Chains A and B, each alone.
Chain A
Amino acid sequence: MKSTIICIVCPVSCPVDVEWTKEEVVLGIKNHLCKLAGPYVESELFDPRRLLTTSIPVDGGDWPLVSVKSSPPIPKDMMLEAMDEITGVRVKAPIKVGDVLMTNILGTGCDVVATRNVKSV
């Protein structure tokens, strides 16, 4: 089977031509400018995932919100459900980039991790 998948890893957005078998084996890709396209295209075909980014309110911080991401990316069709889980959660300052704020969200094995430093005030 053949298709063209736009790589979304970086803003260059390479339109990657991909060919694969019904046993879910990628035979080859072309039209990409870097190595990040291969793993993305394979995931997009057989297990589409997205990095979910949002924010969580912080008590006692120099920012009212801490920005967060799913780590690793979560299944694409679970983004809105995951947002429902995250909504209502509050955290306390201080927070450092990389702090795990929620674990194994919706049983996906994905954590919710801080992407901003928030100092206590």
Chain B
Amino acid sequence: MAGPELVDVAVIGGGPAGLAAAAEAKGAGAGRVVMLERDERVGGILPQQIHDGFGTKVFKEALTGPEYSAIYEARVNERGVETWLKTTVTELSRDRVLTVRSDRGIQTIKAGAVVLAMGCRERTRGAIGTAGTRPAGVYTAGAVQYYMNVSNLAVGRKVVILGSGDIGLIMARRMILEGAEVVCVAEILPQPSGIAGNIVRCLEDFDIPLYLNTTVVEIHGKERVTGVTLAEVGPKMGERKGTRRFIECDTLLLSVGLIPETELAIDLGLSMSPATNGAIVDESFHTSAPGIFSCGNVLQVHDVVDYATLEAEKTGIAAAKWAMTGKLPDSKINISAGAGLRYILPATISGEDAIDFTTRPWKEEHDKSVVFKSGGEVLRRLKMPHMEPAGMIRVRVGKGRFRHVVNNEITVEVED
């Protein structure tokens, strides 16, 4: 076998994060940048997301997914990133040797820096353990989005959607527009999982009912789905007796969450965050393994692609810097999430630069503040008129604020 291909930066994944990281790594001066994508096309899920709402932060206008993707695809091509399509990374070692499989066979790549940008996948029926038969007609919402918007295939006429994640809401509208009947959306939680804007334009615009505290307890049908049984759940997610009802339908769409595709990161033994299910990173998106970086949905599931892009751009620049100099700012200040917040990212910072922190609250809050504190003193207080678990919060803290950090510890919490 030939020796390994030598590259400066290898980006694993050609979705929105991979595209932005690769373009910026090259733009920052890295010599050879290779983006490895297992699909036949780049863009990840964007080419199938034909609805609008992408780009409002980066471009200050609402683009569709394919338009947004096309901008970054053109950028990587113009800058001279090598894109290897239909290429799957099967192994990654701590010394940054990648084993890849494609129609050229098995190859190895030795990279100066590696960016993990593998994105996430949908939770399936198996992951949520629904009882009943195993008929055709049960799909994840993203799979149906691909069938309808890319492959030109219809999947059903009368649909129930389980889970109110954004893709499920978007598909409720999409199926109505294409002539199907959407009977209802059932959500096991007491609040929608998708963002409020999608409840308005995907459900309320078309009078589709949303049943909260409700789930599918049984799927019916032998060859094809003939219906589902819905039931209400109590505060501890147990089924409430006497609330079962049968709903006739031929299709069940699942929009029940996303799982970061972290297999390569776990195999490497990277330090992982139980709150995000992604790697723990510093302000350069550098993981616990030297020269290995992570960004986009494999790091933390985003609900706004713009934020994934911005995060990936910083990651690409940092990866290029590492590949060229082996140096990054020393992240010695620990950041921890306190009351009211599920997590805070990055986990460590240098204090030498302004940082865009990302976080999510545990519950919906109004007129609160996100407060950065060190040694009992407030470094920064940011007013939040409205926070909800479905909406990632991205807040910038200027470097001047880090001058008064005590014992290299910052805590971030929600306060009145």
User: Is B52 part of the binding interface, using a Cβ–Cβ cutoff of 8 Å?
Assistant: yes
B152 contacts which of A15, A36, A64, A68 (Cβ < 8 Å)?
A64
State whether B200 touches A8 (Cβ < 8 A). Answer: yes
Contacts between the two chains (Cβ within 8 Å), count: 105
Consensus secondary structure, chain B interface: mixed
Q: From B177, B196, B205, give the contact of A83 (CB < 8 A).
A: B177
**A106 CB to nearest chain B CB (Å):** 15
Task: Point out the residues of chain B lying under 8 angstroms from A68, CB to CB.
Answer: 50
Judge whether B205 and A50 touch: CB under 8 Å. Answer: yes
User: Considering the complex, which residues of chain A in the window 97-117 have a beta carbon less than 8 Å from any beta carbon of chain B?
Assistant: 97, 115-117
Is B205 touching A63 in the complex (CB atoms < 8 A)? no
Q: Nearest residue in B to A83 (C-beta to C-beta)?
A: B177
Q: Which residues of A contact B201 (CB under 8 A)?
A: 8, 50
For the residues of A in contact with B, the DSSP-based class is loop
B56 and A55 contacting across the interface, CB-CB below 8 Å: no
Asked if A80 is at the interface (CB within 8 A of a chain B CB), the reply is: yes
Q: Mark B379-404, 1 if CB is under 8 A from A, else 0.
A: 00000011000010000000000000
**Contacts A53-B50, A65-B152 given; does A97 touch B67 at CB 8 Å:** yes
- The listed residue (A54, A67, A76) touching B66 by CB distance below 8 A is A67
The count of residues in chain A whose C-beta lies closer than 8 Å to any C-beta of chain B is: 35
Inter-subunit contact A116/B66 (CB<8 Å): yes
Cα(A12)–Cα(B149), bound, Å: 25
Q: Which residues of A contact B152 (CB under 8 A)?
A: 55, 57, 64-65
Can you identify 28 A-B contacts, CB atoms within 8 angstroms? A8-B197, A8-B201, A9-B62, A11-B166, A12-B195, A12-B304, A12-B391, A13-B195, A13-B196, A13-B197, A15-B196, A34-B56, A36-B56, A36-B60, A50-B201, A53-B51, A53-B64, A55-B50, A65-B150, A65-B152, A67-B64, A67-B149, A69-B64, A79-B177, A79-B205, A97-B67, A115-B50, A116-B66
B residues near A (Cβ < 8 Å) are 47, 50-53, 56-57, 60, 62-67, 70, 148-152, 166, 176-179, 195-201, 205, 303-304, 385-386, 391
